[in-house]
Structure 1
Amino acid sequence: MIVLGVILLVIGFVAGISVLWTIGIILVVIGVVLWVLGAAGHAVGGRRHYW
């Protein structure tokens, strides 16, 4: 999710599309929050790990 957010940030910045920029920021923030929760040992979405 973080990678997709960064890709959308770059595309939105280069193309000048603010909607992609906003969606990219949201995806990056959500991805970082889920990553931190998973790294802290909390179950995310009912799973202890992704696989």
Structure 2
Amino acid sequence: MLYYALVFLVVALIAGALGFGGIAGASASIAQVLFFIFLILFVVSLVLRLLRRV
């Protein structure tokens, strides 16, 4: 999932540099959502791992 967030971020940067504002904004929004989903899942997996060891 982090891979896809980075891909959308790169697409947003390239589209922004070329002047495609709509595509850049949409790609940046998708990248942001995917990154936050990744963070939430990462924290949940860390908590579950810590609870499993106890």
TM-score (ref. length: structure 1): 0.70
- Find the structure with the greater CA-based Rg: 2
Q: Which has the higher contact order (CA 8 A, sep 6+)?
A: 2
Gaps of 5+ in 1: 43-51
- Count residues in correspondence: 42
Residues 14-48 of structure 1, C-alpha deviation per residue, up to 9 Å, x if partnerless? 11211001100110011111011011107xxxxxx
Residue aligning to 1:4: 4
**Residue 11 of structure 1, CA deviation:** 1.0
Aligned-residue CA RMSD (Å) = 1.4
TM-score of the two chains, using structure 2 as the length reference: 0.67
1:38 counterpart (15, 39, 45) = 45
Q: Unaligned stretches of 5+ in structure 2?
A: 17-23, 50-54
Q: Report % sequence identity.
A: 24
